Structure 1
């Protein structure tokens, strides 16, 4: 009898979830009759489940639909701000903290400096304090917080509780539990570039699988096959920054030479020149000859890396990270250079710019909590 009750309860939950997900996938909203017709459910069943969802503040009325001759039906939508998740991108000197609602829309963002430390526990204390200030200052209801995702610039183990390597975030211990224990909310750890790729896949409707190439201070990425991250046997899939694009070339922080990261990180056009990225592109637009020469070399090596990724994975390549916001004027040239290295494609239209050029990483690391909520509701 108990098993039958559990089965009936789960069946009701699945029906409620179908209705909620149908509304979730339609930002413009639907009427009760449309829901019933599309999902082949009775109107009383739809009405009962919608009543429960509205009582829980998960669904809201959003005006009425256009008249078809009779009484206009109420338009129902998901209450996107009913819950939120927080994503944090951690670097050696900053926390980038973002709150996202159930549609992965940014509702608050802040970049906070922190004291550099090699102690995971001390880093956790600083992050916990910054997080509480963030929630308070933006008036975010902690009772609606699903969890906190933390993106790190390094390779994690399969259990995602140890940092195997992180050249730009040196910690005395690879154990991430002391950091997690400082956060009084559900917490997950993810690789930063993979998180950016996860957000991009979620936002796209034109690709089943993507290779995401993140261009920031470091160069990394992610491979998502039908939305599922492919991490590889050792959790290092998507480490595109260490594709060799110039044998014996520029030194890389990994200790090798000629890596894509050595040629295409933001450091090459800013830190190495003693200027900001914004100053570089302003000078490039103004016709600075030295900048134009450097940028031509940058694009050449980026094209080599992209062509290699395409040859191996044969999927859409999405360019993301901070530098992506500057790439639109140079996309035709980049595609031309990549196509010249591809025996199968003479346009390289598979190269796309990202949907989230600025905050993809914290959005992506918040996403697991949102997807879990959507699946388990």
Structure 2
């Protein structure tokens, strides 16, 4: 589907009435496979890798970025986004890393799959669009291959824009190296866009928080494009027992150093919608943030020929209209992240 068709499809969705909760069966978790690059191909991981004794890691970096599926030149934009992420990872040494993407399309998945540093370092939760709620766009997560993945599942939200939560459970070990019987639960999500009456995002984040606070979850971290554009969005995290990493580091709402959308957009969008802190990292349980920053700021397509084509079509050269977010999260109580033996 090209960009104009995508825009037409979303315009049709916008004309629909707000969604309502239907059959409870529709919102049950859906298990899905994950993949690793082996023998020159991405292959489903069938058997859980063996546990490596003596993990020394109690922290991991989480990066999240909405790459924007609604504007053209997706392939060159994704190319510079991948290069930017590689440069960011080069600054953290051998630390563990997980990367969340929102607004992926099938071409983006193919580019991730063909990138050598991703092939060698990460599991992928998606090898195609087959597990997305929409056939046109969705979320995908890259997980450091040293981490022990226990399970991957999606929980559909009440939504008209086909949004869900992509969850990955990571094993943890006690201080003596034995399995702790709990998991670190990660949630990659893209909450409902725009304004609705009644609002939709409160119910979506409430559902996410319930899955983050299950008895078997030691700690949970949610990140993504939360589309926080209305006053009620500012308190959704605290109303659901979650903390906001940006705010925990002293960040302030309506601050230039917090905005993640509204800077790398056309002037008419700035005038109509202003700027907002759409992208966030939220958490709960036995985990605390050690650092936080925005990413993707000023990242542009630089190939002169492609830039010329973009300008001829009145397209901006930014990798995305969103900044991403990046934080280091640290487990408490001597707990370590379980490592798999590759």
Both structures adopt the same fold (TM-score exceeding 0.5): no
Structure showing the higher strand proportion among its residues: 2
Structure showing the higher helix proportion among its residues: 1
**Higher normalized contact order (CA 8 Å, seq sep 6+, divided by chain length):** 2
Tell me the TM-score normalized by structure 2: 0.29
Tell me the TM-score normalized by structure 1: 0.27
